[in-house]
Amino acid sequence: MMSKKILVTGATGNVGSDITKKLAERDDNVRAAVRNPVKAREMDLGDAMLVHFDYTKPSSFDMALEGVEKLVLIAPPATPNADELLTPVIDTAKKKGVKHIVLHSAMGVDANDEIPMRKAELYLENSGIDYTIVRPNWFNQNFSSWMTDTIKQGAIYAPAEQAETSFIDTRDIADVIVTALHDAKHKNKAYTLTGPEQLTYADVASKISEATGKEVKYQPISDEDFRGAMMNMGYDEANAEMMSGLFQFVRAGYNAPVNDEVKKITGHDPIPFGQYAKDFADTWK
């Protein structure tokens, strides 16, 4: 008999696609919640069943959550109103009988209860549904997604000055979430997840250079220039403002700490950035 359904929102994103593939590899009964199922078919999501789901269309929630026992909840990237998008999904999940929600949050949001993502965390914690909250640091895969084009041209632009960040690989985040979905000891817990090392953006550029065999340099820029670059990439002003605001915390050192939660939860060491760069080197060539 096939296991109860697991729904993964954001299934075409960096983290969501890794989770979906790992669940499919386990032969779990996984549904990939996507805005555009036709486009999603072009991606490798294993044997996951594609279902229509759109945060801006609550009418899509009921059908996507029908018969679902466990839900992986991932907000759209660079979302300044995460609580407004996520809380209606939590309400529908409760109505539909979902038993466990794993919320993909962000490192540091628990420092201020007024942060929208923190509001979503608190809403989930008080929902009566079993939950697991994961708060990862900045992703390695940012460099092979929205930062790819400038890296191909030989530069990384960010308003990080010389601050360090313990970047984490999305494959490790996925491993943590898959483990949490299958091991009850992680219910009603929250985990901050980091990579294994503290790196400046100059360190990142050096490791990408080594992996690709071509020189990539880090160029610090202002918050204003970063916002402008994000808007040129298609982000709206509110999203660009939120993204640039996150670098205030980077510069203040809040994203530098390293912990061992990935290893404690999954049993394996987190992927170092140098290995990630080798794995994704073709992306920047």
Range with the poorest average pLDDT among 93-107, 130-144, 229-243, 256-270? 229-243
Mean pLDDT of the chain: 95
Give the C-alpha distances (Å, rounded to integers) separating 259 from 9, 107, 189, 192, 255. Answer: 27, 12, 16, 8, 11
Segment 159-199, tens digit of pLDDT: 999 999 999 999 999 999 999 999 999 999 999 999 999 99
Residue 2 has pLDDT above 60, yes or no: no
Nearest Cα to Cα of residue 10 among 63, 51, 59: 51
When pLDDT is cut at 50, 70 and 90, the band that residue 3 belongs to is low
**DSSP, res 199:** B
Half-sphere exposure of 91 (CA within 13 A, CB side): 9
d(CA 120, CA 87): 6
Give the C-alpha distances (Å, rounded to integers) separating 144 from 35, 174, 245. Answer: 22, 17, 22
Question: What is the DSSP code string of 83-142?
Answer: HHHHHHHHHHHHHTT--EEEEE--TTGGG-TTSHHHHHHHHHHTSSSEEEEEEE-SBGGG
Kindly list the domain boundaries of the chain, sorted by start residue.
Answer: 5-136, 140-167+194-256+271-285
pLDDT the model gives residue 1: 37
Classified by CATH at the fold level, domain 140-167+194-256+271-285 comes out as UDP-galactose 4-epimerase; domain 1 (3.90.25)
Query: Token match 């009964």: residue?
Result: 29
Multiple choice CATH, 5-136, 3.40.50.720, 1.10.287.3510, 3.50.70.10, 2.60.40.10: 3.40.50.720
Query: Token match 């269309």: residue?
Result: 57
Segment 61-116, tens digit of pLDDT: 999 999 999 999 999 887 889 999 999 999 999 999 999 999 999 999 999 999 99
Half-sphere exposure of 50 (CA within 13 A, CB side): 15
